[in-house]
Amino acid sequence: MRILLFILAILAFLAGGSVLAAAQSAIHEIEAFILFLIAAVFFSGAGIVEAVVLLRKDMAYLSKQANK
């Protein structure tokens, strides 16, 4: 899931950059910055998922240590 979110973040960022580079009006610039915001949301989502995965690994390790 985190890899998918990271890939989507990269794609949204690249799409925003290409829309911004070819912008002909303010509407296109707004669309580009909305894509940048979407990329930021995807990237932060990937970071949250990664943190949860690491927390689960740490909890499993601590659980094993406590049972010894």
pLDDT of residue 64: 85
In a domain, 39, yes or no: yes
Residue 35: which domain range?
A: 2-63
In a domain, 68, yes or no: no
Tens of pLDDT, residue by residue over 19-40, are 999 999 999 999 999 999 999 9
In a domain, 24, yes or no: yes
In a domain, 45, yes or no: yes
Please give the Cα distance from 50 to 12 (Å, whole number).
Answer: 20
Examine the pLDDT at 65 and tell me if it is beyond 90: no
Please give the Cα distance from 10 to 37 (Å, whole number).
Answer: 12
In a domain, 34, yes or no: yes
Examine the pLDDT at 48 and tell me if it is beyond 80: yes
In a domain, 33, yes or no: yes
In a domain, 10, yes or no: yes
Please count the structural domains in the chain: 1
